[in-house]
Amino acid sequence: MSTDSICRPELDLENPGELADLVAAMNVTANRMTPPNGYRPGPPRTNSSHRGRTSDRKMSLQEKGSRIARQRTIETKRVSITDADDCVQLNQYKLNREIGKGSYGVVKLAYNEDSEQYYAMKVVSKKRLMRLCGFFRRLPPQGSNSQQDPFPKASLPLEKVYKEIAILKKLDHHNVVKLVEVLDDPDEDGLHMAFELMTKGPVMEVPTDDPFTEDQARFYFRDVVLGIEYLHYHKIIHRDIKPSNLLLGDDGHVKIADFGVSNEFEGTDALLSSTAGTPAFMAPEMMTEHEQCFSGKALDVWAMGVTLYCFVYGKCPFYDEYIVSLHNKIKNKPVEFPERPLISNELKELIERMLDKNPETRITIPEIKLHPWVTENGSNPLPLEEEHCTAVEVTEEEVQNSVKLIPSLSTVILVKSMLRKRSFGNPFECQRRRAERSMSAPGGLLTSREGSRDGELEDLYEDDTFTECTE
């Protein structure tokens, strides 16, 4: 496929099927390293051509240990934007038309000319984000010598975006969408995030007259359970679980997307007091007239229960055109199960426990993993937490460096010369002066009173970007 094909105006990229056909010939080897989440009895869906087939066996621990590690997120601080024929050139990416929307930005189809692969590029306007949240700041004029950040730290909405980036850079799970590259130029309004492209789109559009069978719903729900368990393990509350945020990968498995309203927490659970997410998927404890704290994990479980109900009935259990009436139904109306389609008593019992209006007695993720409907009466258990979760920590320093500045080539050459000489002195000064200084302070050039610089040197030396520049 030629790179120019991405810019053809006649393509209807709003159709997920055509989008899948458009990128069917691309190299998706890297995106197909996703292992199946336990034993699968067969394909999740047989009457729809865009549902993928997966392996029907459980992967061994040896195979899990040999899984290829995720590539580090690329961070770019210099962005060149030019108008091409029917598309926008953003560094090595060709941006086409919009293919979706996130919580605070649009998503466009992007073709990477270097890797010859397609990605989903999330585009965020920093000005618009702060204006909508009441934190609008005027950018300094072009060419200004001011060293002040055009978007100061007081601009909390933008800080939340960088927090999301820092979180996504650390996450590596086969049921969570991966962040590939971040492009953020201080002189440009746009913040761009390149994600792996999920060509099959959302797992389901709600409402629909074509809901899943129980087997299909179980297949996808198990993926959601493992993805949420992974997030909770890393102290992250998603807060916006719904079918449109569950995207289908090339292997037919679900990946959780859109962390725009997510929260991090400390301790065993998050105690939240603010409302966020989609109204029809919000838990009843969020709709009290007076401010109170509620469990973050329980919020995700409620949203998962609404999602599972959507899987088998094609609609939400509580719905009303007016938000006040919707809140009343969520708080007071018991969940009702239509006569058609007919579902098992085990599934009804699980949905009822997930949609328990009391968060204290609501079923938990560990209990969901052991539920007879999820495990098919124990014949198809889910992997243990330690088998698919690994420790991760997002530090304040990593949030500040969520997008790093790449130095100029001359700076890289200078640093590499210092590394070879094992000295912070000027590598271009005469040999005599350098020899005198080294004799007067032997061994003192690799450390300072502010602490050792060994780690700093290692980071510079091992950075692939620097290696490529100097070679």
Strand extents, DSSP E, 160-224: 179-184, 190-196
Say which of 184, 223, 240, 356 is annotated catalytic.
240
Contacts of 295 (CB under 8 A, 6+ apart): 269, 270, 271, 272, 285, 359
Going by their DSSP bridges, the two strands 179-184 and 74-76 should be labelled as: parallel
Strand extents, DSSP E, 162-213: 179-184, 190-196
194 DSSP β-pair partners: 121, 181
240 DSSP β-pair partners: none
Helix spans in 191-278 (H): 214-233
The reply to whether 240 belongs to the active site is yes
For residues 394 and 386, is the Cβ–Cβ distance under 8 A?
A: no
Q: Is residue 122 marked as binding?
A: yes
Q: 111, 105, 86: which is closest to 3 by C-alpha?
A: 111
Strand extents, DSSP E, 283-421: 294-295
121 DSSP β-pair partners: 108, 194
Q: What distance in Å separates the CA atoms of residue 204 and residue 257, rounded to the nearest whole number?
A: 14
Q: What distance in Å separates the CA atoms of residue 128 and residue 341, rounded to the nearest whole number?
A: 44
Q: How many CB atoms lie under 10 A from the CB of residue 271?
A: 12
Q: What distance in Å separates the CA atoms of residue 376 and residue 219, rounded to the nearest whole number?
A: 11
**Which amino acid, one-letter code, is at 333?**
K
Structure tokens at 44: 């999740």
Annotated binding site for ATP: 122
Binding site feature residues:
122
Enzyme catalytic residues: 240
